[in-house]
Structure formats: structure tokens, C-alpha cells
Structure 1
């Protein structure tokens, strides 16, 4: 761990060194899905961003405890339920869809994946502490609602650098019983028509937790009152992460030391939305291309940048992977075994510098280019080094998908044989046929016969017609 990993911190708005709370260990909390409906490409992109971060931190020698929660109780989960599929069945079905989508593109499971419904007691304890400290209040109307008093916390807005007086009313709950529209819900009393299975007893009456309190309670349970990194999508900075920070800090929990946010996904330059009908669901994406291509395409932009998914994105990813695979096939055929799997210094520098995966991919392709040149010049030692470095890079990036040694090269070799060799055959034979036609046109019969005999020895039969000369492989269908 001699190298220093630097990450952009959304709170300080600068790239700064990652300084673990405990040397050699990293506590990472990532806001996971609200399991209300099927996952889309934005969910995949976010999960992949933190998968890459975790892989890199592990490579750098850190023991990483990664917590990614599941919000399985929420207004949207309840609204999506039907008589045939209760809210808890809907939540479980969708959670399995998320797991399938993550698994499909090689996203490693977190160390622990707590559900909100399994931590309600801890949320209630935190809410009680906030009330006791004067930072929260129960609604006086008997509804059972409890709100965080944003006016009681002078630092409210520090994560997103907003002034409280400039904020609009929070829309996370019915405003009944609020002292101020900007206050946000910690506990929601049960409403008429809501199932009792979605309510828990509490000092304030039957109800369920607000969204924001969930993450504060679960992060503290598994990572402690303060931890190293909090991650999530850019759309969660406000109000979700701002509220998490406020409610935890208000009762003396320093909370996250480093805030990381990944950029969002657009489709052909437009934000995904139901009204536009342009949402790209994870299942459709993973069905349209092999896993490595989907994973590659979703790393095309820096994790903090917006990623624009276009119709040709997966094709471009396939082409890029094809170049890598063809080199591995050629190199394996040329030198047999690879050299040590050592990452190039430029690759490591890119990954250490705020996880610059696009720059790291450029290093990967430059290594492939140099390796191909070494094959052409018969420099076996350079080929072996390039082959080993390539394996190391695709391993860290998660593009190997756990293939046994050589399996990917064998697959690439097969594709190369079926497609590349056919193209080479057509080029070579076509060239000789053209030379024979030129010889016949100039009445060089002896030269034409030599080319015909050469082709016949190679198993190629030539047929002269009134039009272009036809050729075929003897014995082929």
C-alpha cells in the first residue's frame, strides 16, 4: 500500500488522498436499490462504479468491508403492490432481479446487504435519540409522524453547499404536522388503506421508517459511527445524502469521511424517463450483448461523468474487446505462456487518480498494440510481458468473468479462425485468381497454368466462365 489512492470528495469538492480511519482497512457504504420496479441501466452503472472502486482498493492491499443496503419498505414499494402481489412479495421479486442483473455483468456481492425491514429497531433508537437531543419532533396531530427539525441544525445543507432558506419544501411525506416544509420524515404513521403488515409498533404509534433514517442506522450498525467512504448516484446527493449527514451528525456521529457520487446515464442524449419511454432496463441490456461488452460499455465514461448510452455503444464495446481477445489469441499461439501478471505503471497511476478507468483502458489498448507489434517482429519476450500485463488489467477491471486460464484466448482463437481466417483465405485466393486472369488476358498461358496448379495443390478448384472466374474449396459444401 505504498501508493496513495486519491478520490474526488463531493463534500469538499476536491480530489484528495484516501486516508483510512484504520490503516489497511476501508469501510464503504453504498446506497443500494429501492426495490419497487425492475433495474435499469442507471442502477447497473452505479453498482459497477463501486464494484470497480472496491476491486481497486483490494488490489492496493486494503481489506474492504462493503455495505450495500436494500430499501424494501417505501411509499413506492407500497404503491406498486397489488392484491395478487403484496408489497413484501414485490420487494423480494425485484430484489432478485437486481441480484441477477448485478451477477450478469460480474458485479461482486457486497460484504453484507442489509434490508431496511431488518433494522427498524435501530432506526427507532436513532429517532428517539434525535427527539431527545432536540433535533426531531413528533407531530402534534397524533398522526404518528416524526420529523427532523432542519432549523435546529445550523450545518444543514453543507454537503450540497446550499442555504436552508433557499431550499424548497421536502416532498418525502405528507406535510401534516410539520413545523416547517423543509423538515423531513423520520417516521411515518400508518395511513388509512395501508396494510398493517407494512407497519411496526413504535413510541409514536404504528408506522414505518422514513427513507433517510434507514441508511444512517444501517451504516452505523455495520461500519460504526464514522467510516471511510459513502457512495451513491449523483441524484442522491440531495436530499437523501444531505439528510443522512444531518441526522447522524446531529447526534454526534461524524458519519462518512469521504463522499463519492457517480454520474447518471442518458440515452441518446436524453435523460431516461417514463414519459419519454426511453428507459433501458438491465435485463434487455444484458440480453442484447455478452456480459463483458455490457460491462465495458458502462465504463466508457469516467465514473463522475454522465454516460450517454447510444445505439452503437455495445457494438463499440464488442470491437474493443475483440481487439484485446485477438491479441491474446495471437500471443498465446506465438509464445505459449504469458509473462508475470504485472500491471503497467501508467495503468496503476490512472486508477489511483480518482479511478480514471477510461485512461486505464487506453493503457490496456496501448499494451495490446505494442504486443501485436512485438508478434510481428518476433520479439517473444515483449509479447509475453504484454500478454501477462493484459491479463492483469482485464482481471482488475473485472472483464475476465472468472474464465479459467486460457479459456478466453481459446474462445477468441475460435472466433478468429471462423471469421478472420475466412477473410484471409478470400483475400489470398482472390488475389491469385486476379493474377491468373491478368495472365490469361495477356496470353501468358504458362503463367496462368502455374497459378492454376498452385491453387489446385492448395485444394482450390478454379472454374473459368463467360463472366468472372469462380473458385471453390475442393470437398466443401
Structure 2
């Protein structure tokens, strides 16, 4: 297994710190607003990584944090005249629902920044004692990391400290150098009074970067295997994480795995820019969550996605063809279980998680399966179905696995609606049995008006949701 390591800028063989076990830390969201599909790409990409590591025999500890105290959240709280924590929590609930809708597995641990003040205080104190951080001399209560004290600063992002812009997370007058960044922030006029905690340096709140370093060490130890996040986090967030963590004596992340961005137009999808598309907007286009997941997982994780409605719909149609094969093959030979992935698929996934090449292999097996289905070669079909389901399971889009198996016609339907459709089909079957063709046609026509298309097969009626 090999990954492109952003720290060394090369594809490296993956050697975990501890044989058979992998620790992964993913920078989660700052919950000042609900998630857009660019955020959901991160969730899907690292869910695929986790699934592949698990399929490869590793025991995975997966940590994805929630940043629930931050300048942007406080700005929203002031603008909306709401408690900062109510904004953070409401958006966290929305995020969790979106992840669940896309079949993203819950992390092993999902720590919130506000629950780890003690760990942050201990880390900051260690940095001060080692000469890598200092309390501001102006009495503000701010504490800064001394960038010049860490010789390797800029190595992750490939930037020279002398060419970097000043950090904007604290007043310049309180810093020894413009690039020094805040570890702890004292109270500021106009901010919510309940957004502060006691500390050895006075009441205040943490800087963004110290939160992740403290939480990663708490749940994964001083050194762990993979640190993930969006390419846009490389600087300053991840650069600052590396500096403060290694300055404190931590080995920190052995591999840095960054995913590409999702663009809308000429710019990345961003809450601050206002050019966002969320899960509800995608579903309003008639695209199901499983189809969105397929769209987000199909390109190589490091590639940029230039979003368009047309590209999303094309991807949805491609998934529907896969889904149709699984459904027809299941009607013929039964569902079986997800099988072993083929050698070419495994090689693609082991080569820097190349889902694009892996999907090309899947489609080759799919063609063989469709040929076996047409020729009535049940043994070959059974083998192809198991292989296809195994590969889809790695990508998290197996139609017969939770949560997709309850949307039996391929529509965005709950199990309750599924049961109602089945009830109507039973009534139609009973009408046909007693040769009441008018009643049977009436049920079929009513279902069609509701967008449900019924197809009679040798194995009984099968229904799908009509595309509009």
C-alpha cells in the first residue's frame, strides 16, 4: 500500500507505526454553518480510505474532530444574537445527518474542541517551558507560538517563513514577529461573554491550531499514522500543527494525506465565499445521496472536482447502471455476500487510493457479469455479483448494504414507502390472479402517476422510480 505524502511530496510505501493497527486523524469541520458538498467530499474520501484499510486487515482508530469554538462561530453568534454554542450544536447535528445520509461511518472518536481545554493548557505550558511560545507582553492574555524558534517551519507547505504573510489571528502589537500565531486568545470587546475559559494566562479561548494538536495526542498518542484534511488546510493550519506538535516533542503524523477541492465555477466551494451547494440542493435535482457519494468517490481523492449539474447527473446514471446489474443479478441468483475484490482493483486502491482506476476495473467485471446474465451462466454471474458487491462495499455504495438497501427502487425512499409500494404490488398480483385485469391496470397506473414504474419479470414485479 502506498500514499502520496504531502510532507515529502512523493508516493511512499505505507508502514504503520504499529503492525496491524492504523491511527487516522481527520481535521473535521468548523461548525459555523451547515456543510456543503465540498465538506462531504472530505467525509466520503476518508471513509473510503478507512474502508480500504479495514478490508486490508488493519484495525483502524479513526478520529474526526469538531471545531465548536472559533472566530467565525463567534462572529455568527454576534450577528445573529444567539449563543455561540447553539449555532455550533445545530450545525453539528446537520453535519451528522448529512454524513449518515451519505453512508459515512461514524468515527471511532469525534471530540469537540470545547471538551479538551485541559489538554490544550498542558500543551501550551510545555511549549512555553521549552522556549517555543510566549505570553503576550501587553497583558491581553494572548499566548503565541514563536515561529522563529522552530527551524523546520514551512517544510510541510514548502514555504519560506520570510515570504509568509503575517498571521491574522491576533493583534500585531502583541507579537514578537508577524508570523507568530495564537495558541490562546484573551477576551476581546464585543465577543460573547460565555466564550471564555480560565487558564494559567487568564480567561480566554484556544487558537484554532492548538485544538487539533491536543486532540490528536489525546486520542492517538504522541505519534500516529495518517493525518488527513483538505488541500486548503496545508497552510497555515497543518503547518502550524506540525510546528507546535513537534516543538513539544511529539512525533505527530507519519503521513499527510490531503484531498483535492471541489470547485463551483472558478473558485473552491466555500462558506465564506457563499458559493455553496448542500445535500438538500442536490436532492432537489433528483439525485439520491448514494449517487452523490458515487460522484464524490469516483475521481482520485487528490484531483480537483469542477462541479456541474450535468456531470453529477451523468455520474448518477453511471451508478444506476451498476445498481441495475446488482438488482437483476440478485433476482436471478440471489444476493449472496460481497466477495473478494479482484487483483486489479486491489492494486489500484493500494496505489495511492486510486478510485478512478479501481472503478475502471469494476466496470470490466460488470460487463462480464452482464454477459453472463444474458447467457444464463449462473455460476459465472454469481461470481461476478460477489466481486462487484465487494468492490462497491469498499466504495460504500453497495445497493444491497445499509443504508441503501431500503431504497429498493433506486429512489430516495424510506422503508415505510417501500412497504406501501409492496402492498400495492401485492394487490395488483391478487387482481391478476383472479383475472381482474382492470383492477390490476388501475394499480399499475396509479403507481405510475406517483412516479413508480412497474416491470414484470420472471421472478415477479420489480419497481423503479421514474426519472423526470
**Same-fold call, TM cutoff 0.5:** yes
* 1:114 match: 111
Structure 2 residue 173 is matched with structure 1 residue 164: no
1:392: how far off? 1.1
402-411 or 324-333: bigger deviation: 402-411
Show CA shifts across 1:20-58 (max 9, x none): 111100010000000111111111011111111001100
* 1:376 match: 374
Show CA shifts across 1:375-422 (max 9, x none): 223322221111111111111211036637995896369xxxxxxxxx
1:176: how far off? 3.2
Task: Describe the shift of the 1:204–1:339 C-alpha distance in structure 2 as closer, same or farther (beyond 3 A).
Answer: closer
| Contact map agreement 2:154 2:161 (CA 8 A) in 1 | yes
2:132 to 112, 130, 135: 135
1:30 to 26, 29, 32: 26
Structure 2 residue 147 is matched with structure 1 residue 153: no
* 2:330 match: 332
Q: What does 1:407-446 correspond to in 2, within 5 Å? A: 407=405, 411=409
* 2:387 match: 389
1:230 to 227, 230, 234: 227
Show CA shifts across 1:256-311 (max 9, x none): 00111000001245433568753212332245421110101112321001011111
Show CA shifts across 1:203-253 (max 9, x none): 211111100000110000010000001000000000000000000111211
- Bigger-Rg structure (1/2): 1
* 2:415 match: none
| Contact map agreement 1:70 1:114 (CA 8 A) in 2 | yes
Question: Which blocks of at least 5 consecutive residues in structure 1 are unaligned?
Answer: 414-472
Q: What does 1:20-419 correspond to in 2, within 5 Å? A: 20-82=16-78, 84-273=81-270, 277-288=274-285, 289-336=287-334, 338=336, 341-400=339-398, 403=401, 407=405, 411=409
1:158: how far off? 1.1
Task: Describe the shift of the 1:323–1:178 C-alpha distance in structure 2 as closer, same or farther (beyond 3 A).
Answer: same
Q: Aligned to 1:81, what secondary structure does the other structure show?
A: helix
| Contact map agreement 1:172 1:185 (CA 8 A) in 2 | yes
Q: Give the root-mean-square deviation of aligned CA atoms.
A: 2.5
1:110 and 1:337 map into 2 onto residues whose CA distance is: 28
The TM-score with structure 2 as length reference comes to 0.84
The TM-score with structure 1 as length reference comes to 0.82
1:77 and 1:474 map into 2 onto residues whose CA distance is: 55
404-413 or 92-101: bigger deviation: 404-413
189-198 or 259-268: bigger deviation: 189-198
| Contact map agreement 1:325 1:409 (CA 8 A) in 2 | no
1:40 and 1:404 map into 2 onto residues whose CA distance is: 23
1:144: how far off? 0.5
Task: Describe the shift of the 1:408–1:369 C-alpha distance in structure 2 as closer, same or farther (beyond 3 A).
Answer: farther
> Which consecutive aligned stretches of 4+ in structure 1 deviate over 6 angstroms post-superposition?
473-477
1:337: how far off? 5.6
Number of residues of Structure 1 aligned to a counterpart in Structure 2: 416
Task: Describe the shift of the 1:300–1:403 C-alpha distance in structure 2 as closer, same or farther (beyond 3 A).
Answer: closer
1:131 and 1:98 map into 2 onto residues whose CA distance is: 36
1:241 and 1:339 map into 2 onto residues whose CA distance is: 41
1:330: how far off? 2.9
